[in-house]
Amino acid sequence: MTDFPMLIGGKLVPGDHKLNVVNPATEEIFAVVARASVDQAGEAIAAAKGAFPAWSKTPIEKRQAVVVEIADAIRDHAAELARILTSEQGKPLPEAQGEVAWAEGYLRHYATLGLETKVVQDDASARVEVRRYPLGVVVGIVAWNFPLVLAAWKIGPALVAGNTIVLKPAPTTPATTLRLGALIRDIVPAGVVNIIADENDLGSFLTSHKDVAKVSFTGSVETGRKIMKSGADSLKRLTLELGGNDAMIVLDDVKIADVAPKIFDAAMLNCGQVCLAAKRIFVQGKIYDEMAAALAAIARDAVVDDGMKQGARLGPLQNRMQFEKVKGLIDSARKEGAQVAGGETMERPGYFLRPAVVTNVKEGSRIVDEEQFGPVIPLIRFESDAEAVDRANATAFGLGGSVWSSDFNRARAIAEQIDAGTVWINQHITIGPHIPMAGSKQSGLGVEQGLEGLAEYTQLRVLNMAKA
């Protein structure tokens, strides 16, 4: 499949270069897509800049209506988008269908939001209004784990707020996003949305460009630091949703048969390639061995296969680099004396790993200290509630976390002490477009979702009017 042009200035354009997209389930080239040169990246920014004055002055109701039309286009082409998504990302087709539905739903929610003027003083002396205005050109850079829904997370608030955008998907998963560009070409005014692809060679150009007002990035901490540096000269506004090494604390009063499948799902969604996935599972000593056995049994029965195959529960890792990294973490744990149930490679093409449940591990092991971003469940033994809090917080990350218990008050007392942007009780990765999401520590800057996330795409201005 080769028909994946870029969207620049309202036109579908071929790239000055080409990019091969590999299907991670077969290691074969799935698509050849357009890849931008520096000149084309500059054209995309220029198109967004040129479209900004008219778009920013467009009534918000019309901007919201355009976002609804984008959602409609996703709905009308959902089956096609899901198949492209599975082919390039690897996730099972039902998960891809879910991502497409989430992208549509997020856009529809953003289209209901507005940023009304807030009056903070109105008396005999003065009227003070707090208003929000669009920033200008936004660059959105999307990770490879959820290419379509992350694109929606950036397009929706950027457009509703009155900004224009240049969107760049990850080089290993550009096809779904480029196809979206073709679907919305006649919906969005020329230059308001531009979608280009690269080979990880245009990031610094985009994020340092003088005409870019804001960068919204989802990806690794290392790349987030580079973006902060590249935007420092012009003090660009930033939203950085970075990595997590989320702690899950499982107390000794849970019902193992009920909780174990939920823990597995929280760790293994999208083959573990989720920033908010549970990656450090602290299990109280009294139930540690029984929980380990229950999770190992679930892992053993999980069907690992091509995401296009019916019944596949886990697909492959998305790319060879991540595949080799996760293999290395599992091998390192074995060498350190950990017990590993599963974690084997499979005698077939594709970046497949059996899900691994790793026991007899603690802090200091790479598989605990590093974000695995793969099908790995490290189980860490703890004894007291206070100990669990201290150890869960002993990390540079702070994206999410959860506490599991049959005693709600006990769980809440622990949850309130976890240093993370989101903490769940008896659930994990439960998110929605109306719920703000933010990372603490090195898991990010700024907020996504909800009114708070929309506000990130605006400049606050105060109008202070004397009456005397």
The parent domain of residue 12 ranges over: 6-242+441-466
Domain count, the chain: 2
127: phi then psi, degrees, rounded to nearest 5: -120, 125
Asked if the structure places residue 14 within a domain, the reply is yes
Q: Please indicate, yes or no, whether residues 271 and 157 belong to a single structural domain of this protein.
A: no
Active site annotation includes 275: yes
Catalytic residue among 88, 241, 371, 448: 241
- pLDDT tens per residue across span 214-230: 999 999 999 999 999 99
Does one domain contain both 307 and 341? yes
pLDDT of residue 2: 55
Q: What is the CATH number of the domain that holds 287?
A: 3.40.309.10
Chain segment 53-62, per-residue pLDDT in tens: 999 999 999 9
Residues 302 and 421 placed together within one structural domain of the fold: yes
CA atoms within 13 A on the CB side of 46: 6
Instruction: Give me the mean pLDDT over the 145-151 stretch.
Output: 98
Report d(CA 438, CA 253) in Å as an integer: 30
Domain match, 135 and 264 both: no
Residue 1 lies in a domain: no
Reference 274, options 404, 401, 146, 453; nearest CA is: 146
Tell me how far apart the alpha carbons of residues 148 and 294 are, in angstroms, rounded to a whole number: 34
Q: Indicate if 209 and 128 belong to the same structural domain.
A: yes
- Say whether both 265 and 314 belong to one domain: yes
Q: Quick one: pLDDT at residue 325?
A: 97
Supply the pLDDT for residue 407.
98
Do 202 and 58 share a domain, yes or no?
yes
Residues 170 and 305 in one domain: no
Looking at the fold, whether 184 and 292 belong to one and the same domain comes out as no
- Whether residue 194 contacts residue 163, with contact meaning beta carbons closer than 8 Å, is answered with no
Whether residue 26 is contained in a domain is answered as yes
Residue 215 belongs to some domain of the structure:
yes
Report which secondary-structure segment, H or E, holds 118: strand 118-122
232 and 270 fall within a common domain:
no
Task: Give the pLDDT score at 360.
Answer: 96
Give the pLDDT of residue 129: 97
Active-site residue, 324 included: no
pLDDT above 80 (res 303): yes
CATH number for the domain spanning 175: value is 3.40.605.10
Residue 106 lies in a domain: yes
In a domain, 72, yes or no: yes
**How far is CA 362 from each of CA 82, 249, 282, 414, rounded to the nearest angstrom?**
39, 14, 9, 20
Same domain for 175 and 37: yes
What is the percent of the chain with per-residue pLDDT over 90, rounded to a whole number? 99
Q: Which of 99, 271, 275, 448 is catalytic?
A: 275
Q: Is residue 454 part of a domain?
A: yes
Residue 332 sits in the same domain as residue 196: no
Task: Kindly tell me if the per-residue pLDDT of 1 is higher than 60.
Answer: no
Quote the tokens at residue 338. 């950990």
Residue 216 β-bridge partners: 140, 239
Residue 408 predicted with pLDDT over 70: yes
**pLDDT tops 70 at residue 321:** yes
Say if 235 falls within a structural domain.
yes
**Sorting pLDDT into bands at 50, 70 and 90, what band is 305?**
very high
Contact 67, 204 (CB under 8 A): no
Mean pLDDT value across the chain: 97
- DSSP class of residue 270 equals G
